[in-house]
Amino acid sequence: MQVIKYVFQPHGDDRGQLVALEEFKDIPFKIKRVYYMYDTKENVTRGYHAHKSLEQILICIHGSCKIRLDNGREKKVVPLEKPYEGLYVSNAMWREMFDFSPDAVLMVLASELYDERDYIRDYDEFLEYAKNYGELAEG
Ligand code: T46
C-alpha cells in the first residue's frame, strides 16, 4: 500500500509560520468541505469506516495523532505530528484515527459535501467493496 503524505511549504519569517493550501495546486482535488476535530478524549478511536467516493487530506494542525489505513489487503499506521504535513486518504480505504494528544486538532479537507450514503460502516461490507474496487481498478 502506498502512503501519500504531502509536505506543504511553510512561508516562514521572523513572525512565525504560515501554510497556504490551494485546490488543484497543493491539494489534488476541489475542496468542497473543511471540518476538524479537537478535544478528543483519551484512548478514543474515531473513524471505523470507509468512503465509496470521498477523497480527503488529513492535517494535524496542532498536537499529534495516528491514522490506521486499511485497503482491505494491507494496513499501515501513519503518525501525523506536523502542521505542514497532509495525509491523503483515498476512497475505498478503511480509516481509524487514534492516539490523539490532548491538544490535537485534526483538520480534514474533503472533496465532497457531507453525505451519509457515501459511508461504509460495516467492515465485512468494506472488505467486499474493496475487493471489487481493487479488481475494477486493476482491470
Ligand atoms: C472521515 C474521518 C477522517 C457532519 O454533520 N458533517 C460532517 O461533515 C462530518 C464529517 C460529520 N458530521 C457529523 C456526523 C456525526 O454526527 O458529525 C458527527 C461526527 O462524525 P463522525 O462520527 O462521522 O466522525 P469520525 O471522526 O468518525 O469521521 C470523520 C468523517 O465523518 C469521515 O468522513 O473520513 O473523520
Note the pLDDT tens digit of each residue in 53-99. 999 999 999 999 999 999 999 999 999 999 999 999 999 999 999 99
Query: Looking at ligand 1, which atom is closest to the CA of residue 106?
Result: 3
Burial label, 92 (beta-carbon count in 10 A; 0-12, 13-18, 19+): buried
51 is catalytic: no
CATH of domain 4-11+20-138: 2.60.120.10
Q: Which of 57, 114, 121 to mutate to test the pocket of ligand 1 (most atoms within 8 A of CB)?
A: 114
Domain boundaries, the chain: 4-11+20-138
Give the cell for residue 137: 481498478
Protein residue whose Cα sits closest to atom 16 of ligand 1: 116
What's residue 5's pLDDT? 98
Higher pLDDT, 133 or 60: 60
- Under a CB-based contact definition with an 8 Å cutoff, are residues 50 and 129 in contact? yes
**Secondary structure (DSSP) of 2-67:** ---EEE--B--BTTB--B---BTTTBSS---EEEEE-SPPTT--EEEEEESS--EEEEEEES-EEE
What is the pTM assigned to this prediction?
0.96
Note the pLDDT tens digit of each residue in 24-64. 999 999 999 999 999 999 999 999 999 999 999 999 999 99
Q: What is the pLDDT confidence band of residue 134, given thresholds at 50, 70 and 90? A: confident
